[in-house]
Structure 1
Amino acid sequence: MSVARATFSRLSPKTSALFLCDMQEKFRNNICYFPQIVEVSRRLFEAAKILDMKVIATEQYPKGLGHTVPELGLNGSSVPIIEKTKFSMCVPPVEDHLGSEIKTIILCGIESHVCVYHTALDLLAKGFAVHVVVDAASSRSMVDRKYAFKQMNKAGAVMTTSECVILGLVGDAAHPKFREVQKLIIKPAPDTGLLTFEKANL
């Protein structure tokens, strides 16, 4: 068993952090299923807020690519938004915000084959368990998106869905905040094109 595989763990709000990677204005018209990816990521952010989880966001070269889109819901929140140029969220200011309790990262954003991919590899190398939310991560190309997921899975990251993550964080219908969280998933997550793409390329 590889080191990366050995770090797999169930999700817990106390030991998990949500990473929101580079969902910025200039990507709006270029990323496959961008509105849906942002909406699914917003659900994850809302769940994280309800469960008092740590959340960290980044912006890739915002001078050129703009700032985080408002519909993600970060405006007015206490979420740190870290500027970067590296193709990974693993930069010192992000690591400074993590703290020692965090063992698992829930990762979403763009692009799947660039910053999400390199973030996952960096986190795995540092011993974190990484859960990549496939319906909350995308690229300009569906081919890049598909094979990024395959590569991250092979490297040891867990490929998962937003509803699996949200319910996994609660863990029990008896959880005191289950009803609040349940409201986020009563309506199914929007289609982000994964099954359509798979069927078209069988």
Structure 2
Amino acid sequence: MPGRAGAGLVVIDVQPGLLKAYPPRRARRVVESAAGALDLLAPLGLPTLILELDPDRLGPTHGRVLGAAPGARVVAKARYDATADPESFQALEDLDRPWLVLLGVETHVCVLQTAVGLLGRGRTVAFLDDAVFSRTPRDQRVGRELLVRAGAVPLTTEVLLFALLGGRDHPAFSQVLPRLKARVSRPDDGEAPIDPGGPYDGEG
């Protein structure tokens, strides 16, 4: 498990051109889950990298997600596996943390291939099981199974949060607590779908 200050976050391809292919409620869930994870973890000050697949065609990262990670570095990539693209690979290396924790889309494509690439280079990799998504439940399930078989550790946002906090004595605990209470009390009604906008080019 990652300990205090031991993790970097990698947000993968939460872009309108990819979300366009999702059912509206699922697209909303992608955005809210990714942004919610980033918001909850923000007081810990984890280094965060936002990756964007071909943003000229697929658009920039959704504004709700960008807004939840104002200090994050944003890097474009041309390959599904971010370790196969020199600029994004260097950005991953620059995170310089023992654990790299992935979230975003799609579980069975860019998340999976990036995780495998990192694991093949000897990195310790986890993914947020409540903040990685595919367009279909089947691809989601298979992608998750392949991630685990490859050696990536499944976490949830709260598992990661409390592992990093370690206890109430963490200096960020007082900032985390109200965010956690708001998260617990917020209903997940599945309504008010977002309009991701932009073209869809069948990648992610």
- Judge same fold: TM > 0.5, yes or no: yes
Gap runs ≥5 in structure 2: 191-204
Partner Cα distance (1:190, 1:134) in 2: 19
* Of 105, 122, 128, the match for 2:117: 122
Write the mapping of 1:148-159 to structure 2, written as runs, cut at 5 A.
148-159=143-154
* Of 80, 88, 94, the match for 1:87: 80
Q: Show the counterpart of 2:8.
A: 17
Gap runs ≥5 in structure 1: 1-9, 194-202
* Of 141, 144, 147, the match for 1:146: 141
Q: Show the counterpart of 1:77.
A: 70
| CA spacing shift, 1:93–1:117, aligned 2, 3 Å | same
Tell whether the 8 Å contact from 1:26 to 1:66 is kept in structure 2 after alignment: yes
Choose between structure 1 and 2 for higher RCO, CA contacts under 8 A separated by at least 6 residues. 2
| CA spacing shift, 1:128–1:74, aligned 2, 3 Å | farther
Tell me if 1:96 matches 2:90: yes
- Find the residue that maps to 2:82 and give its secondary structure: coil
Shift of 1:149: 0.4
TM-score (norm 2): 0.80
How many percent of aligned residue pairs carry the same amino acid? Answer: 25
Partner Cα distance (1:100, 1:86) in 2: 19
| CA spacing shift, 1:153–1:26, aligned 2, 3 Å | same
TM-align CA RMSD: 2.4
TM-score (norm 1): 0.81
Tell me if 1:55 matches 2:48: yes
Tell whether the 8 Å contact from 2:77 to 2:88 is kept in structure 1 after alignment: no
Cα deviation 1:134-179 (Å, max 9, x = unaligned): 1101111110011110011011111121111122211112212112
Tell me if 1:112 matches 2:107: yes
- Find the residue that maps to 1:99 and give its secondary structure: helix
* Of 161, 173, 176, the match for 2:156: 161
Number of matched residues? 184
